[in-house]
Amino acid sequence: MATRVALKFMRECSLFRKVKFNDNSRHYFCTAASNGAAIGLLIGGGAYASTVDEATFCGWLFSATKLVNPFFAFLDPEVAHRLAVSAAARGWVPIEKRPDPPILELEVWGRRFSNPIGLSAGFDKNAEAVEGLLGLGFGFVEVGSVTPVPQEGNPKPRIFRLRKEGAIINRCGFNSEGIVAVAKRLGAQHGKRKLETSSSSSLTEEEVVHGGKAGPGILGVNLGKNKTSEDVAADYVQGVHTLSQYADYLVINISSPNTPGLRQLQGRKQLKDLVKKVQAARDEMQWGEEGPPPLLVKIAPDLSKQDLEDIAAVALALRVDGLIISNTTIQRPDPVSKNPVAAETGGLSGKPLFNLSTNILKDMYILTKWRGRVHKKIRAGATLVQLYTAFAYGGPALIPMIKAELAECLERDGYKSIYEAIGADCR
């Protein structure tokens, strides 16, 4: 079946024709983001006649994606990425039917997450595959970064695999179709979600409580600036005005190393001025009972102690709802430094970034006085954890595996809920 699905998809796909903090309101995200290679998503969907129970069959589908994953290693990283997004957008991906372990459920910003594992921005840059990606079992999906005006990004090639090191280097440079295209897609998804929830009015509150504006999980929208923009704040404000109505949370991305001058916005004065303007733009809009979407700031891992103190001070003073820690790094730690690909310009993500980003996470958790690898991130102070590079290499099968391992780790450590583990290593 996997072979038939893959062949049919390749015939249809144009690619082949052409080739927080935590004080009740603030929270930390931890992310291993990169804009890069993608994964084997070409299985699932379709019509099956099965004699096994749904949970068993669902598990088989996710495990079967491991057979497809190696196919993507033979493709150019960006072609593989494009193919994966198209597959998810078309529904050629498995759908998670099994409930998440109750110990993983948590509430952040008044929103219920069935689990804390999300997909980082950079994978679905243009909100093409939100429904399919949420259906994989992520607790949340973040789209973007979205720029006001469409732009191509940096010249290709711009994505490079370091498979042995479990890493990716990218210098995409905010390639985006722009906020108008993204708004159309998110608007359609939002309308579909409203119809689904209204038709479920007969269900109890507990049965419909999970999910957000786009589907069964929470949707984040990551905002960026255009490369040639002269008014940086205006770019982010435009993104807020156009896209915030569709977002469960918003992100100001000021940490990509691939857009000239962007990381300078992490300075104390620059950050303070920017956040004030974005908050004002959000708060001047009309909101219902649920209020405006939370606003987060995504920071770099290549920051000095003083930089971290400045960011923490601004976040506390302006009551930023959370920080995403972190973006990619311009450093090349061992063993990456020994790989010839390390000479490529761009941000590094994946396993080599783990210790650096975790240390930044701990520092920020302590500075703000808020209270497997995913398990370590949670204990270091993360409320939610985003994947990208690990997902690119591991594929859909990685998602249920991580959730099961995280639940096992929490129970092993004697925790009754995930809340108890947040920041445990910083106490």
pLDDT in tens, 300-320: 999 999 999 999 999 999 999
Position 51 pLDDT exceeds 70: no
**Confidence (pLDDT) at 201:** 54
Distance CA 4, CA 6 (A): 5
What is the share, in percent, of the chain residues with pLDDT greater than 90?
74
Tens digits of residue pLDDT in 136-177: 999 999 999 999 999 999 999 999 999 999 999 999 999 999
**Which residues pair with residue 31 across a beta bridge?**
386
Tokens of 238: 């435009």
Residue 393: other Cβ atoms inside 10 A: 21
pLDDT confidence of 27, banded at 50, 70, 90? low
Which of 24-33, 283-292, 356-365 bottoms out in mean pLDDT, i.e. has the lowest?
Answer: 24-33
Position 360 pLDDT exceeds 50: yes
Laid out side by side, the sheet with 347-350 consists of 159-162, 167-170, 347-350
Establish whether the linkage from the previous residue to 157 is cis, with ω within 30° of 0.
yes
User: What phi-psi label fits residue 223: left (phi over 0), alpha (psi between -120 and 50 degrees) or beta?
Assistant: beta
- 111 close to 140: Cβ distance less than 8 angstroms: no
Tokens of 4: 């038939």
Which of 50-59, 116-125, 203-212 bottoms out in mean pLDDT, i.e. has the lowest?
Answer: 203-212
| pLDDT, average across residues 357-365 | 94
| pLDDT, average across residues 103-121 | 95
Average pLDDT of the residues of the chain: 86
**Confidence (pLDDT) at 26:** 58
Of the residues 86, 176, 256, 349, which is catalytic?
A: 256
Select the more confidently predicted residue: 44 or 186.
186
- 377 close to 406: Cβ distance less than 8 angstroms: no
Distance CA 415, CA 17 (A): 52
Does the annotation mark 202 as catalytic? no
- 28 close to 361: Cβ distance less than 8 angstroms: yes
Q: Is 356 helix (H, G, I), strand (E, B) or coil?
A: helix
Burial of residue 403 (CB within 10 Å: 0-12, 13-18, 19+) is: buried
Distance CA 402, CA 179 (A): 33
**Confidence (pLDDT) at 193:** 79
Q: What single letter denotes the amino acid at residue 413?
A: D
pTM, rounded to two decimals: 0.87
**Which residues pair with residue 167 across a beta bridge?**
162, 350
**Confidence (pLDDT) at 244:** 96
